[in-house]
Structures are given as C-alpha cells and as structure tokens.
Amino acid sequence: MNEFPVGATLRPEVVPSRWTLMRDVAVFQLKLFLDGLRDAALIPASLAIALLDLLGLGPRAGQQFYLLLEFGQRTEYWINLFGAARHAEALASPPRPGVDVLVDRLERLVVQEYERGGMTASTKDAVDRALDGLTKRGPADRNPPEGST
C-alpha cells in the first residue's frame, strides 16, 4: 500500500495557469528559506536546551526541550512548506494562518494594482508576451546555429 500517492490531490483536469505556477514557485522558495532559517536556529538551540535539561538547570528543567519541540511544530504549521500542493485546486476552505495568509494578502494588493491598470498591468503584459513568444517558437528558433549571432 502506497502511503504517499503521487498526484493524488491534483485532478487531471486541473491545469494551473503560468501565473499560478510562478506564484507557487516563488512562495515555495520563500518558505524553503524560512524553513532553513528556522532549522539553522533550532540546531544549536536544541543542543543547548537539551544540555540544560540533562543538567537540571533552568526554570523548567526537564521540560524545556519538549517546549522547544512544540515551538518547532507550531512554526512548521505556520510555514506550511508544501501548501502549494493544494493551491492549484483552489480549495474553497479559508487559508490557514501563516505564510500563506501573508502571501495571499500581498497577492490581493498586486491584483488590485493590476486591475487599476498600474505598473503591474504593463509588467504582466510584457511577461505574458515574452512567455508566449518562447512557447510558440520551435526548438530550432530558440537555438540559432553557431555564428549567426
């Protein structure tokens, strides 16, 4: 029995737009960065706190390490590293608190600016034209013969 079926959450008829994909890639990179910072901080902190617990030092000796684990678990929930796996489905349920809520707020601001026809609209159009140009040309058009440039 496969405990982690690949693609089980994404229906075959759901194809995210290129903007959804680019957004999700950017958010994933931000989350990886935050997760790495958290891990880098937890490595020395967990060793120091475990030592304090083993020596019976500190205000809550014997419990401090487990309090740190609970903190780490809360930050893991908040970061929601792989939350974009469900983003393509556009689930109707409200987003859970954390990085996703902050990104959604920022995205709404960008969309509002786009709808007003501000700088974001022209930037989006330019990126769309460039990406359309790349996807409409064949492989020979993308790699000109040597000496032709």
Look up the pTM and report it: 0.58
Amino acid at 67: L
- Among residues of the chain, what percentage have pLDDT more than 70? 65
Query: Looking at the predicted structure, is the pLDDT value of residue 38 above 50?
Result: yes
Q: What is the pLDDT of residue 119?
A: 63
**Residue-wise pLDDT tens digits, 78-100:** 998 888 777 655 544 555 667 77
Q: Does residue 144 carry a pLDDT above 60?
A: no
What separation in angstroms does the CA of 133 have from each of 22, 61, 138? 17, 63, 10
pLDDT band at 76; cut points 50, 70, 90: very high
- pLDDT of the residue at 108: 76
128 pLDDT tier (thresholds 50, 70, 90): confident
